[in-house]
Amino acid sequence: MAEGGAGPGGGESLLFLTDDQLRKGIEAMFFAYRGFTADPDRILERHEYGRAHHRAMHFIHRSPGTTVNNLLSILGVTKQSLNRVLRTLIDDGLVESRVGRKDKRERHLFLTEKGTALERELSEAQRGRMRSAYRAAGPQAVAGFRQVLEAMMEPEMRRQYQTLKDAGA
């Protein structure tokens, strides 16, 4: 069966590709994702919002002034679906939608002060858990974590992720 090649050592270094190891990885993803969303979910419930609102706010915060189409392609949902969420956020005064100056068809999205506050509350909760996990696992583990996740993404999403990643630092 396929001599991997990439690994430095022989034999034992391929143990991580057995079906059993892969299954463990799959289950780890499943259980970890629940933890990943648990804290924001609790906060969102208090505010009568859902994960969809969190995702929208996250990426608007990340790229202030982003257009609806842009957000659509990042989130990977239909405009009808996003619109429902966006409308409630705009109505509740968390998001502001400004008509484009150059292209007046476009709407540019921004978090209001109120929106920024909730986004911070959510992301602080989420970062809190991520920080503990990172601290517990250590820098090397974190690097590996990120490498595997990146390799797991669909190519288009990886591009989106890379773009965002670079914009940040």
> Please, which of residues 89-128 interact with DNA by CB under 7 A?
97, 99, 102-107
Which residues 6+ apart lie within 8 Å of 112 measured at CB? 93, 94, 95, 96
Both structure tokens of 160? 């989106």
What does the alpha-carbon distance between residue 51 and residue 82 come to, in Å, rounded to a whole number?
Answer: 12
CB of 8 to its own copies, least distance (A): 8
Position 43 contacts DNA (CB under 7 A): no
Judged by CB under 7 A, the residue of 43, 77, 142, 157 near DNA is 77
CB 85 within 8 A of CB 48: no
The interface partner of residue 153, options being its own copies, DNA, none and the CB cut-off 5 to 8 Å by kind, is: its own copies
Judged by CB under 8 A, the residue of 3, 19, 48, 113 near its own copies is 19
CB of 143 to its own copies, least distance (A): 6
CB 167 within 8 A of CB 63: yes
Judged by CB under 8 A, the residue of 34, 101, 104, 105 near its own copies is 34
The interface partner of residue 166, options being DNA, its own copies, none and the CB cut-off 5 to 8 Å by kind, is: none
Which residue, chain included where needed, has tokens 């057995």?
Answer: 18
> Please, which of residues 129-168 interact with its own copies by CB under 8 A?
129-154, 157-158, 160-161, 164-165, 168
Task: Report the interhelical angle of 113-137 vs 51-62 (nearest 10°).
Answer: 90
